[in-house]
Structure 1
Amino acid sequence: MRRGIAATALVASLALAATACGSGDDGASSDGPLTITWWDTSNATNEAPTYKALVKQFEKANPKIKVKYVNVPFDQAQNKFDTAAGSKGAPDVLRAEVGWTPAFAKKSYLAPLDGTPALADQSKFQPNLLKQARYEGKTYGVPLVTDTLALVYNKALFKKAGIDQPPTTWPDLKKAAAAVKKKTGADGYWGSTQGYYSQPFLYGEGADTVDAAAKKITVRSPAAKKAFTTWQGLFDGPGLHKADSTADAYAHIQDAFTSGKTAAIIQGPWEITNFYQGAAFKDKANLGIAPVPAGSAGKQGAPTGGHNLSVYAGSDQAHQDAAVKFVQFMTSAKSQEQIALKNATLPTRQDAYTARVQADPGIAGYQKVLGVAQPRPELPEYSSLWGPLDSELPKIAGGKESLDEGLGNAESAMAKLVPDFKK
């Protein structure tokens, strides 16, 4: 997952799809290199320059291959690739959010990478991340960056409020929020109404939106209702900011935290560089990072996100071979170290966590919370299940509908996404 969570509605763009032809007129001639196209979905301002630099390094090391770099806005990329792949005009390589990988593999849009040079260092990658790149026993992506959610907090505000350790349960977080408000005047906690950010509450009760193994929708189970009741209770009380259901809610929460107006939020490492740009974290050491609080079952859990590099199955063999070589280069330990140092993102292989990478307190902090990150089930539709929650949770948090009514609506919408699942 990344910034695009809060993006505006998807906009189709046939023009961009037309530029992506993976197996069209870009074959190598007797006197020229073969050209492959890469759709990069990273942030165009903060992250893309690092990837562009790596493309140049790859081309220098591989003069017979040219890479046509295209930065595609994250919030548009899934639909654009789906459209382009369906018409045999997709890019040779896609930077895909981990939830997209099984969905595109199910449609036969991606080439399996098992036994190719792209996975030559398979043992170096974190097993859970490789698991998220698999579908029906085959691997369709190589993990490039990973992420999860954590409780991030302002150490100075917590100290002024007399809080020595980050809260480890949701009730403790409520108490901490009240203390921060009383002692500093700042809000103690500001929660999100987006579906992805509700996952820690579900995991904390041993619940989820669905039981993939049993093929059952569980968003209205007793455990899930308990989770959402806890989530709902964090929008009203001393030091707790009221729910923001506006289109700019994500930016509002982020700005309040980086400016020091809010002491704690739930957020992912894709915002590390933006944290450091805020007035509250000019001293990077002031950024506190802790595992998400535990639920009443005593469990801590956060979703595992990130991005894989996948190869388009519709390209010819020459383009696929070049694409595999490019994926191998981009996901190498050296490349991942460079990406981490420049973009403050988390590597997916242990040998990329060098001393220089771990010197960044943000990366080091998030690396420590990866232990409570849970991989997503092998269900192509899983990521799409947050869509119904994105529609209903703002209404619930804003008092426009009851919890039962909202979860009922979400369940009905999910049933259309996984029609073979029972309620």
Structure 2
Amino acid sequence: MGKKKALTGALLAAAIMTVAGCSGRSTASGETAKAPADPADASGTIKVLTHRTDLVQNGTMAEYAAEFNKTYPDVKVTFEALTDYEGEVKIRMNTDDYGDVLMIPAAVAKNDYPKFFAPLGNAGELGGRYRFSDKAEVGGKVYGISTFGTANGFLYNKAVWKKAGITKWPATPEEFVGDLKAIRSRTDAVPYYTNFKDGWPLTAWSNNIGSVTCDAKANDKLAGPVSPWKRGGELHTIDSLLHDIVKEGLSEKDPNTTNWEASKDMIAKGEVATMQLGSWAITQMRDAARKNGADPEDIGFMPFPAQKDGTYCAVLASDYQQAVNIHSGHKTAARAWIDWFAEKSGFSVKEGAVPALKSAPLPSTLKDFVDNDVTFVERSEAKTGQVNAIDNAAEIGLNKPDYRQKLVDTARGAQRGSLDDFFADLDKRWNEAAGTAGS
């Protein structure tokens, strides 16, 4: 290929779907990547592809590898960090050469996992040991183990909210918008920051599906012509809140100028009051507070503003899942790394995230949720394959930023149309796609 071109839309989907047939190397077997019975059984050099460029550049991943080698001295672990992880890996998956261990890209359809990744074991065995294993389960086999999980909600600067006279978490979307209005009138902070330009933070809103009704199977229930954005539906509640925040002028003036890295300092210093993100971001914002001479304890985390029977709920969802390349020549060594990373590395604790290992405790970053009896709901992934198929056929993108960027533009008047029309169009496309892709 003479020039590098970004693959987008239909071209990207076509590239993914043709991966299995484009390889010029040996046909992959479906053998299980078994954990070594003895550390001496694992050997060779493995490459781990990662999106965590920060941890590779600052030497943290090398430190993990050094600890791993204390147990597995015959395995050499190398890392390749990719800034555009999703884009780069999707292109590489048109060959056999996409590392030995990799984070499963979001664009790979769940039902296609057996084409690209070695099975790690059966669902019954791994499901009893790890959280979120059903996210990577296809046909009774598990193809990935989560690096960690995250609770979903809103990061907020407690000092700013207190200055605005707010003493308790909002329990409804209307109360949430009212609180943001109080912040606007009583402080100098931007009440809410969309992170519109970077885009990916907008996808975190989808991780609240299940929080509104406290239903672990809420995402599964999208698998059909169910009009997800109808009044009373979870996505109607979730996306209406984002729309109303922007329409009421409670977010930054120009969303095209937002900057993810800068937003960490802004919320740490109290220039921004609130952002919708997963709990994984708490440690990053508290680190930013320390860097800026602010109190890290001012960074708080609140659940989505909805209650069922007087109780808040927060969905626990998996972050990236580590998988073994089906073409890897060192599957045992690769599996040893995945198991060690999930169970022994301490990575989830350091990140302030929910550990994949069920026997491990919840992180201290979620103390406010525990102390206030927030119910944790582990999202079912039983019908994720069907939901993804409908979503892709409808070209909406529940886990992509595009449609919420359009929602924000509609709310601020940069795009014509009403919210009702916007939702009606989404429902129409979803239901039509469900008639063909969801069966």
TM-score past 0.5 threshold? yes
Distance 1:287 1:422 in 2: 41
Aligned pair count reads 384
Counterpart residue number, 1:143: 146
Deviations 1:176-209 (A, max 9, x none): 2222333333333344663442553785379999
- For structure 1, the 5+ residue unaligned runs are 1-8, 13-20, 25-31
Distance 1:144 1:201 in 2: 21
Compared CA separation, residues 130 and 296, structure 1 to 2 (3 A): closer
Q: Does 1:93 align with 2:106?
A: no
Q: Is contact 2:151-2:314 (8 Å) kept?
A: no
The aligned amino acid for 1:289 is F
Distance 1:265 1:161 in 2: 17
Deviations 1:320-360 (A, max 9, x none): 1221122121111x31x2x1344333322244338xx53xx
Distance 2:150 2:108 in 1: 15
Counterpart residue number, 2:188: 185
Q: How does 1:30-109 map to 2 (within 5 A)?
A: 34-45=44-55, 49-73=59-83, 76-96=84-104, 100=108, 102=110, 104-105=112-113, 108-109=115-116
Distance 2:340 2:287 in 1: 30
The one of 376, 387, 394 equivalent to 1:371 is 376
Q: Is contact 1:101-1:141 (8 Å) kept?
A: no
The one of 117, 130, 133 equivalent to 1:130 is 133
Q: Does 1:221 align with 2:227?
A: no
Q: Is contact 2:151-2:315 (8 Å) kept?
A: yes
Distance 2:179 2:405 in 1: 30
Q: Is contact 1:97-1:306 (8 Å) kept?
A: no
The aligned amino acid for 1:397 is A
Counterpart residue number, 2:296: 284
Distance 1:247 1:202 in 2: 31
Distance 1:248 1:417 in 2: 33
Q: How much does 1:252 deviate?
A: 6.0
Counterpart residue number, 2:167: 164
Q: How does 1:272-311 map to 2 (within 5 A)?
A: 272-279=282-289, 282-294=294-306, 300=313, 302=315, 304-311=317-324
Structure 1 SS opposite 2:334: helix
Distance 1:99 1:148 in 2: 22
Q: Is contact 2:214-2:313 (8 Å) kept?
A: no
Q: Is contact 1:81-1:90 (8 Å) kept?
A: yes
Structure 2 SS opposite 1:216: coil
Counterpart residue number, 1:313: 326
Distance 1:192 1:373 in 2: 26
Q: How much does 1:391 deviate?
A: 5.0
The one of 258, 263, 280 equivalent to 1:248 is 258
Q: Is contact 1:132-1:378 (8 Å) kept?
A: no
Q: Is contact 2:122-2:142 (8 Å) kept?
A: no
Which is further off, 38-47 or 95-104?
95-104
Compared CA separation, residues 10 and 363, structure 1 to 2 (3 A): farther
Normalising to structure 2: TM-score of the pair?
A: 0.71
The aligned amino acid for 1:233 is D
Counterpart residue number, 1:323: 334
Q: Is contact 2:45-2:77 (8 Å) kept?
A: yes
Q: How much does 1:311 deviate?
A: 1.0
Compared CA separation, residues 375 and 44, structure 1 to 2 (3 A): farther
Give aligned-pair identity as a percent: 19
Counterpart residue number, 2:403: 389
Q: Does 1:420 align with 2:404?
A: no
- For structure 2, the 5+ residue unaligned runs are 1-5, 13-23, 28-41, 197-201
Q: How much does 1:294 deviate?
A: 1.0
Q: Does 1:260 align with 2:300?
A: no
Counterpart residue number, 1:270: 280
The aligned amino acid for 1:216 is P
Compared CA separation, residues 140 and 407, structure 1 to 2 (3 A): same
Compared CA separation, residues 345 and 98, structure 1 to 2 (3 A): farther
Q: Is contact 2:135-2:318 (8 Å) kept?
A: no
Q: How much does 1:109 deviate?
A: 0.6
Q: Is contact 1:151-1:292 (8 Å) kept?
A: yes
Q: Does 1:231 align with 2:242?
A: yes
Structure 2 SS opposite 1:152: strand
Structure 1 SS opposite 2:180: helix
Distance 2:195 2:298 in 1: 22
Counterpart residue number, 2:176: 173
Q: Is contact 2:247-2:411 (8 Å) kept?
A: no
The aligned amino acid for 2:411 is A
The aligned amino acid for 1:340 is S
Q: How much does 1:409 deviate?
A: 5.5
